[in-house]
Amino acid sequence: MNILVVGAGGREHAICWKLSRSKIVSKIYCAPGNAGIAEIAQCLPIEMLDIAGLASFAKRERIDLTVVGPEDPLTHGIVDEFETQGLRIFGPTREASIIEGSKAFAKEFMRENHIPTAPFKIFDDREEALRFCGDTRYPLVIKADGLAAGKGAIIVNNVEEARETVDRMMVDKIFGEAGSKVIIEDKLIGEEITVMAFTDGKTVLPMLPSQDHKAVRDGDQGPNTGGMGAYCPVPFVTDSLMVDIMDLVLEPTVRGLKARNRTFKGILYAGLMVNDRGPKVIEFNCRFGDPETQVVLPLLENDLAEVFISIVDGNLSLEELTWRDAYAVCVIMASKGYPGTYEKGTLIKGLPTDRRDDKCHVFHAGTKKLDNGIVTNGGRVLGVTGLNANLHDAIAGAYDIADRIKFEGAFYRTDIGQKATRRWGRYAH
Ligand code: AMP
Ligand code: GLY
């Protein structure tokens, strides 16, 4: 089978790596890919949003299955276009990916389907939003309705901060048109976790729970990023909590979308706040998480291409997921200045040449191959994943490799995975 993967980040490197181990995959293409992906797939100079270009390539090269990594092509309707042309593609339609594309839709959908989430109000009128800010309790979270690369949610502690944030989103348009509508909701307390699930619109198969680290600095300090590291599985997510997440969140979401003629096929990502009173949804995404994928896929024992095909064909009920009994920890190495402005084109040294897939991976994100070697090409540059039977050694393994990779201005959090060890003590007895 020939596969085309759309995307260019660490998540897509992990997807390509996992597909490269499939018994039924003979060749992998990736558009546009990066320097790491180029070692296992043929990279193509086609942009992710060039849907017509991607479709004509898929037709010409007889691609058997296209797999979409990021949300943008999905919310722009890449799946609808491919299906219209009779091309096989893995991912939700435009109608279904609205669960990520519009937070206002997602919140109203949750309210109607009794899916637990923070109480909220939606405003498309600035005056009304400002009035509400003067007549409520804090802290709150203010969010832009549309896509904002994971940076569209701002926590506010008082009316001044709230009004300033409303104006920055609705008047200054810091997130563009994504901010013409805002959601104001209660700030939730607890631990933030990720549960992703495979679904064909009927059957829901959850993956192992993972935990991202969104803030740029140790101890969750500094601004939010796309994600600075992750680990999997999360020890304090017990079997009974997973049952609640399935029964209260994932199943009703898939059923509710189907009932609204927005059948969701692909990866449903639930960002959840959990505490003693159970899970509440912070956000839904319509695709694999980044960097969660870099810790979840290395633990999946199934043939990923077979799972994708079962979903496209609507046969997911025939699959059963099995997982390696181990921990995975991913440390993101970023360019100085990220998540603000940063330089590109810095030479990366010390990339490991020997591969031990059972022990570690170096997933590339913003990298590019030049004549003199591999250089940085983005804010998040590499995701170093360590694997081990115990969490402590998985953390040590990831940092051991990260410490040996050098590029000017490189930085990474030094506390990835520590939340699990802290919590483990509390939940152990
Ligand atoms: P979102 O854009 O909805 O994914 O939110 C981005 C980040 O803001 C989340 O990953 C959380 O860390 C934080 N956040 C969003 N909504 C809430 C909330 N209601 N309570 C607490 N934290 C939140
Ligand atoms: N890690 C967060 C996301 O993929 O949206």
CATH number assigned to the domain covering 2-96:
3.40.50.20
| Centroid of ligand 2 to alpha carbon of 160 (angstroms) | 29
pLDDT of residue 150: 66
In this structure, how many other beta carbons lie within 10 angstroms of the beta carbon of residue 41? 24
Q: Which CATH number fits domain 119-186: 3.30.1490.20, 2.60.40.10, 2.60.120.620, 1.20.1250.20?
A: 3.30.1490.20
Predicted confidence (pLDDT) per residue in 315-336, tens digit: 999 999 999 999 999 999 999 9
Backbone angles phi, psi at 359, to 5 degrees: -115, -40
Provide the pLDDT confidence category of residue 177 given band limits of 50, 70 and 90.
confident
DSSP codes, 381-394: EEEEEEEESSHHHH
User: In the numeric block, which tokens belong to residue 212?
Assistant: 């991202």
Distance from the alpha carbon of residue 420 to the mean position of ligand 2, in angstroms: 19
CB 166 within 8 A of CB 182: yes
2-96 and 119-186 in the same fold:
no
Closest CA to 242 of 323, 315, 307, 186: 323
CA distance 331 to 380: 10
150 Cβ inside 6 Å of ligand 2:
yes
Ligand 2 centroid, distance to 61 Cα (angstroms): 31
pLDDT of 392 reads 95
Q: What pLDDT shows up at residue 426?
A: 46
Distance of CA 236 to the CA centre of its chain: 21
For the Cβ of 70 lying below 6 angstroms from any atom of ligand 2, the answer is no
Q: In the structure, which protein residues have their CB atom closer than 6 angstroms to any atom of ligand 1?
A: 118, 141, 143, 152-153, 185, 187-188, 192, 214, 224, 271, 282-283
Mean pLDDT value across residues 369-384? 96
Whether the pLDDT of residue 304 is over 70: the answer is yes
| Ligand 2 pocket check for 100: Cβ under 6 Å | no
Does residue 306 have a pLDDT over 80? yes
**Nearest protein Cα to ligand 1, atom 18:** 187
d(CA 385, CA 394): 8
pLDDT at 261 over 60: yes
Peptide bond into 291 cis (omega under 30): yes
Residue from 350, 351, 360 nearest 398 by CA: 360
Please say if the pLDDT value at position 428 is more than 70.
no
* Three-state helix/strand/coil letters over 78-101: HHHHHHHCCCCEECCCHHHHHHHH
Mean pLDDT, rounded, for 128-138: 92
* Res. 176: pLDDT tops 90: no
Asked which of 45-59, 128-142, 306-320 is least confident by mean pLDDT, the reply is: 128-142
Q: Is the pLDDT of residue 348 over 60?
A: yes
In the reported structure, the alpha carbon of residue 227 is separated from the centroid of ligand 2 by a whole-number distance in angstroms of: 6
User: Higher model confidence: residue 372 or residue 293?
Assistant: 293
Q: What is the pLDDT of residue 423?
A: 59
Read off the pLDDT band of 8 (50, 70, 90).
very high
Structure confidence at residue 269 as a pLDDT band (50, 70, 90): very high
Question: Where does the pLDDT of residue 422 fall: very low under 50, low under 70, confident under 90, or very high at 90 and above?
Answer: low
Q: Where are the beta strands (DSSP E) in 157-226?
A: 182-186, 191-199, 204-206, 211-212, 215-217, 221-224
pLDDT of residue 23: 97
- Say yes or no: CB of residue 289 within 6 Å of ligand 2: yes
User: Which residues, in sequence order, are bridge partners of residue 191?
Assistant: 274
State residue 146's pLDDT score: 83
Average confidence (pLDDT) over 390-398: 96
Side-chain half-sphere CA neighbours of 37 within 13 A? 30
In this predicted structure, what is the pLDDT of residue 180? 82
- Among 414, 346, 412, residue whose Cα is nearest residue 374: 346
Q: What is the pLDDT of residue 142?
A: 95
What is the band of 427 on the pLDDT scale with cuts at 50, 70, 90?
Answer: very low
Average pLDDT score, the chain? 94
Q: Identify residue 59 by its one-letter amino acid code.
A: K
Q: For the chain, give every domain's residue range.
A: 2-96, 119-186
More confident residue, 380 or 355: 380
pLDDT, tens digit (0-9, with 9 covering 90-100), for 96-107: 999 999 999 999
Give the pLDDT confidence score for residue 429 in this predicted structure: 37
